[in-house]
Structure 1
Amino acid sequence: MKPFSITLQDIIQAQKRIQPYIHHTPLEYSERFTQLYKSDIFLKLESLQVTGSFKARGSLNKLLTLNETERQLGVIAPSAGNHGIGLAYAARKLNVPAHVYLPKDADQSKIRALSNYGAQLSFFETIEDARIAAINTAHETGKTFLSAYNDPAIISAGGTVALEIIQDLADVDVVITCLGGGGLTAGICIALKSINPKIEVWAVEPKNSPSIATWHSEGKVSEVNLKSSIAEGLSGPIDPNTITFPIIHQYIDRILTVTEEEIVNAMKSMLDSQYIIEPSGVAGIATLSQCGDELKGRKVAIVVTGRNISWSRFLSIVNENRHNQ
Structure 2
Amino acid sequence: MSITLQEVMQARSRISSYIRHTPLEYTKTLSQLYNADIYLKLENLQVTGSFKPRGSLNKLLTLDQTQQTRGVIAPSAGNHGIGLAYASSKLGIPAYVYLPEDTDRGKIKTLNQYGVSIKFFDSIESARQAAIKDAEEEGYIFLSAYNDRSVIAANGTIALEILEDLSDVDTVIVCVGGGGLASGIGTVLKAVNPSIEVWGVQTANSPTLAVWFKQRKVTPVDLKPSIAEGLSGPIDPDTMTFPIIQKCVDRILTVTDAEIIDAMKAMINEHRYIVEPSGAAGIAALQRYSDELRDRKIVITVTGRNISWNRLQNLLSNPSIEHRYGQR
Give the TM-score range, shorter chain. over 0.9
Partner of 2:48: 51
Match of 2:195 among 186, 195, 198: 198
Q: Does residue 118 of structure 1 match 2:115?
A: yes
Q: How does 1:82-161 map to 2 (within 5 A)?
A: 82-161=79-158
Q: For residue 295 of structure 1, report the CA deviation from its aligned partner.
A: 1.4
Partner of 1:180: 177
Which secondary structure does the structure 2 equivalent of 1:271 belong to? helix
Deviations 1:73-113 (A, max 9, x none): 00000011000000000000000000000111100110000
1:31 aligned partner, one-letter code: K
Partner of 2:297: 299
1:288 aligned partner, one-letter code: L
Q: Does residue 285 of structure 1 match 2:295?
A: no
Q: How many residues align?
A: 321
2:247 aligned partner, one-letter code: Q
Distance 1:129 1:181 in 2: 18
Q: For residue 322 of structure 1, report the CA deviation from its aligned partner.
A: 8.7
Partner of 1:208: 205
Distance 1:45 1:187 in 2: 17
State TM-score, norm by structure 1.
Answer: 0.97
Q: Does residue 71 of structure 1 match 2:68?
A: yes
Partner of 2:326: none
Deviations 1:298-320 (A, max 9, x none): 11000000000001100100111
**Counterparts in 2 of 1:77 and 1:291: CA distance versus 1, 3 Å:** same
* Unmatched segments (≥5 aa) in structure 1: none
Which secondary structure does the structure 1 equivalent of 2:289 belong to? helix
Distance 1:124 1:224 in 2: 25
Match of 1:33 among 26, 30, 34: 30
Distance 1:305 1:58 in 2: 13
Q: For residue 118 of structure 1, report the CA deviation from its aligned partner.
A: 0.8
Deviations 1:154-174 (A, max 9, x none): 000110010100000000010
2:43 aligned partner, one-letter code: E
2:212 aligned partner, one-letter code: W
Distance 1:151 1:53 in 2: 18
Which secondary structure does the structure 1 equivalent of 2:16 belong to? helix
2:303 aligned partner, one-letter code: T
Match of 1:9 among 1, 6, 13: 6
Deviations 1:51-84 (A, max 9, x none): 0000000000000000011000000000110000
Distance 2:126 2:320 in 1: 33
Which secondary structure does the structure 2 equivalent of 1:204 belong to? strand
Distance 2:198 2:116 in 1: 35
Q: For residue 251 of structure 1, report the CA deviation from its aligned partner.
A: 1.7
1:112 aligned partner, one-letter code: K
Distance 1:82 1:280 in 2: 10
Distance 2:241 2:22 in 1: 24
Which secondary structure does the structure 2 equivalent of 1:20 belong to? coil
CA RMSD of aligned residues (A): 1.1
Distance 1:209 1:72 in 2: 37
* Unmatched segments (≥5 aa) in structure 2: 322-328
Deviations 1:135-186 (A, max 9, x none): 1100000010000000000000110010100000000010001000111100
Partner of 1:265: 262
Match of 2:306 among 302, 305, 308: 308
Distance 1:166 1:80 in 2: 31
Partner of 1:240: 237
Partner of 2:325: none
Q: For residue 321 of structure 1, report the CA deviation from its aligned partner.
A: 3.2
Runs of 4+ in 1 over 2 A off after TM superposition: none
1:136 aligned partner, one-letter code: K
Identity of counterpart residues, as a percentage?
61
Q: For residue 134 of structure 1, report the CA deviation from its aligned partner.
A: 0.4
